[in-house]
């Protein structure tokens, strides 16, 4: 006899599912309620993709408005039409702006229709499967002993019932949870748990033998007899609404599995489906924090939401840091290593960070800084110097960190992030040797970059001295004239320093300078002429880097 607290009353007649029950089964993360004028008590009979060319949808549907921007007038029409057809709710994507319009809110309130938003991390195809699976599972009574999505608790509870060691896996043979057992663990289970996935060689062997085809295609428990050092095992696929959610494995521990183990596992798979769906739909806390921080730093998020998720005070000094490691660290698995390293280093400084991977690097948000602004800035500077050393040690000496200005509240973080990005860009400029800096330390470079940004094009204006030098280099100059002028101006006309930078003799340099003035007509004694040449050379350099 299997306790009801684990498997539920699976054969009991289930009442028709409501929108509230459906969202509860799925868990938070895939869908975000936007407005529900009459609550979430509407009965849900199905899920449909919205097709404006096919009127008269069945009542009680959750309509997925694929491709319709919630900021558009078309979204308002969709809500009104859906309410008229008796829909349970309409789901929109995030749209271009990230939030629906006030007109959509007003239309939903007037029509009395619930409007939900699909979160950016969940694709439409994945959402359809999750909703259909959720509808199937709405009739499964909740398990009072295991919180929704607590797969570790579920594995421990099932291990007691089936009398063996339990492993819960996803469809890619990755370990989601495993039971705690005191008995000796067989080698395969040990390798699986340590690697958090079934070893590749084992997956390949089972695939070749057709095991997974049998597992996913069967609705029953599969028995694998003991073989050598591998004990007897039972496995069942977990599915709902046509969606395969994962599998449950039971390995004998210290003896044979009891006779009722297969029946218990078969019954438990249905309850496990609800937990697996909840687990799949509900993003981890870390992912929620990352998304909230990213949205805030982009200027479209809520400081209150981030504060609630992280415990960082909404009012208190905080700052953003922009991190750029060596090129390889911004991609693939290296990006994960970088973020983990930054988080650990911040923790060593008694700071609770939020680390966000971005293209070619990461952003670090730190709050809870000293209440005095000057002391808070010193904290950020110390942290930046420590981080750049650690990143350089692991990923190479090219590491650079831009320190954002310290701001007074989380809501002001977008300004800190902008300053951090500007500082990082300045540190990446040619000839800049500092690895970490704040905005006041590279203010001149930031101002110059902003000035150059306002100038259009990288080609120098025709008939100017730099334009003549570019043309000469392209012809008979051998590409050395522009390079020589750039080095000469960068070294303030000091011949020995310029010669060393170019690797030429001082007399050879003097000859080149003479040729530059002869070919281009540049008056090196004129401050205006030198300024124009410097700006044009910078634009040429920027154009070369962009191409």
* pLDDT block averages, 10 residues each, the chain of length 547: 42 65 75 86 88 77 89 90 90 75 90 86 79 76 65 86 88 86 73 84 90 87 85 89 86 84 85 79 66 85 82 92 77 74 87 88 93 94 94 89 95 94 89 89 81 65 78 75 85 86 87 86 83 78 57
Closest CA to 270 of 24, 61, 25: 25
Which residue in the block uniquely carries the two structure tokens 């002993």?
Answer: 145
What are the C-alpha distances in Å from 76 to residues 63, 82, 85, 118, 288?
14, 10, 15, 17, 29
Q: What is the pLDDT of residue 112?
A: 92
Contact 102, 75 (CB under 8 A): no
Contact 77, 64 (CB under 8 A): no
Give the chain's domains with CATH numbers.
19-139 (3.40.1390), 151-279 (3.30.450.40), 312-454 (3.30.70.270), 465-544 (1.10.10.2840)
483 CA to centre of own chain: 42
Tens of pLDDT, residue by residue over 367-378, are 989 999 999 999
Q: Is 117 helix (H, G, I), strand (E, B) or coil?
A: strand
The total number of residues written for the chain in this structure: 547
Q: What is the pLDDT of residue 285?
A: 61
The CA distance from 227 to 389, in Å, is 52
Q: Is 232 helix (H, G, I), strand (E, B) or coil?
A: coil
Q: What is the pLDDT of residue 144?
A: 57
Cα angle 171, 215, 229 (rounded to 5 degrees) comes to 90
Q: Is 247 helix (H, G, I), strand (E, B) or coil?
A: strand
Contact 235, 222 (CB under 8 A): yes
Closest CA to 312 of 292, 295, 331: 292
Ordered DSSP codes for 128-188? HHHHHHHHHHTTSPP-TTS-TT-HHHHHHHHHHHHTEEEEEE-TTSBEEEE----SPPPHH
3-class SS string, 428-441: CCCCCCCCEEEHHH
Q: What is the pLDDT of residue 379?
A: 94
């Amino acid at each position: 006899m299997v306790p009801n607290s684990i498997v539920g009353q699976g054969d009991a007649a289930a009442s028709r599912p409501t929108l509230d029950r459906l969202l509860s089964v799925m868990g938070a993360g895939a869908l975000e309620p936007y407005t529900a004028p009459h609550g979430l008590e509407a009965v849900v009979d199905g899920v449909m993709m919205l097709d404006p060319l096919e009127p008269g949808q069945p009542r009680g549907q959750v309509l997925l408005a694929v491709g319709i921007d919630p900021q558009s007038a078309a979204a308002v029409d969709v809500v009104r039409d859906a309410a008229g057809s008796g829909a349970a709710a309409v789901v929109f994507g995030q749209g271009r702006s990230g939030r629906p319009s006030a007109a959509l809110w007003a239309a939903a309130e007037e029509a009395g229709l619930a409007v939900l938003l699909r979160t950016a991390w969940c694709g439409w195809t994945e959402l359809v499967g999750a909703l259909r699976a959720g509808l199937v599972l709405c009739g499964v009574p909740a398990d009072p002993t295991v919180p929704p999505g607590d797969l570790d608790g579920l594995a421990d509870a099932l291990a007691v019932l089936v009398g063996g060691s339990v492993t819960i896996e996803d469809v890619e043979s990755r370990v989601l949870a495993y039971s705690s057992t005191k008995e000796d663990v067989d080698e395969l289970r040990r390798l699986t748990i340590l690697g958090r996935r079934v070893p590749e060689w084992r997956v390949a062997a089972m695939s070749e033998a057709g095991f997974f085809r049998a597992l996913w295609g069967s609705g029953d428990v599969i028995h694998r007899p003991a073989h050598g050092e591998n004990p007897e095992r039972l496995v069942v696929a977990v599915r709902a609404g046509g969606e395969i959610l994962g599998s449950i494995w039971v390995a004998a521990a210290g003896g044979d599995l009891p006779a009722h183990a297969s029946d218990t596992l078969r019954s438990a798979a249905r309850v496990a489906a609800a937990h697996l769906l909840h687990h799949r739909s509900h993003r981890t806390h870390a992912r929620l924090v990352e998304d909230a921080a990213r949205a805030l730093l982009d200027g479209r998020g809520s400081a209150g939401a981030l504060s609630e998720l992280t415990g960082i005070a909404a009012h208190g000094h905080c700052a953003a840091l922009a991190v750029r490691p060596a090129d390889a660290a911004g991609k693939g698995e290296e990006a994960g290593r970088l973020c983990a390293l930054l988080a650990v280093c911040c923790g060593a400084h008694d700071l609770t960070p939020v680390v966000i991977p971005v293209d070619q690097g990461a952003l670090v948000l730190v709050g809870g800084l000293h209440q005095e602004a000057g002391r808070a800035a010193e904290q950020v500077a110390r942290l930046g110097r420590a981080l750049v050393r650690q990143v350089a040690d692991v990923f190479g000496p090219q590491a650079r960190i831009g320190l954002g200005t310290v701001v007074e509240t989380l809501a002001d973080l977008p300004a800190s992030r902008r300053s951090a990005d500007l500082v990082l860009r300045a540190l990446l400029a040619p000839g800049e040797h500092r690895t970490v800096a704040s905005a006041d330390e590279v203010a001149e470079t930031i101002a110059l970059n902003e000035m150059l940004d306002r100038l259009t094009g990288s080609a120098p204006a025709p008939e100017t001295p730099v334009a003549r030098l570019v043309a000469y280099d392209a012809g008979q100059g051998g590409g050395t004239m522009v390079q020589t002028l750039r080095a000469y101006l960068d070294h303030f006309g000091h011949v020995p320093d310029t010669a060393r930078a170019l690797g030429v003799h001082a007399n050879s340099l003097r000859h080149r300078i003479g040729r530059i003035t002869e070919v281009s007509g540049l008056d090196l004694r004129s401050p205006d002429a030198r300024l124009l040449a410097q700006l044009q050379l910078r634009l040429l350099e920027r154009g070369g880097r962009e191409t």
